[in-house]
Amino acid sequence: MDTTERPRGPHLEWTVVASDIGPLLLAATPEGLVRVEFHAGPDRIDRMMGPLVSRLGADARRPAPGEEVLLAEPVRQLAAYFAGALRRFDLPLDWRLSSGFNRQVLQELDRSVPYGSVVGYGELAARAGQPGAAQAVGNAMGSNPLPLVVPCHRVVENDGGIGGFGGGLETKRQLLALEGVLPQPLF
| Cα–Cα distance, 81 to 85 (Å, whole number) | 6
Query: To 5 degrees, how large is the angle CA 99–CA 21–CA 145?
Result: 10
Residue ranges with strand state E in the chain: 11-17, 24-29, 32-37, 59-61, 119-120, 155-156
Nearest to 125 by CA among 139, 142, 114, 144: 139
Catalytic residue among 106, 152, 175, 178: 152
Pairing of strands 155-156, 11-17: unpaired
Active site residue 152: yes
| Distance in angstroms (rounded) separating the CA atoms of residues 135 and 68 | 38
What positions carry a catalytic annotation? Answer: 152
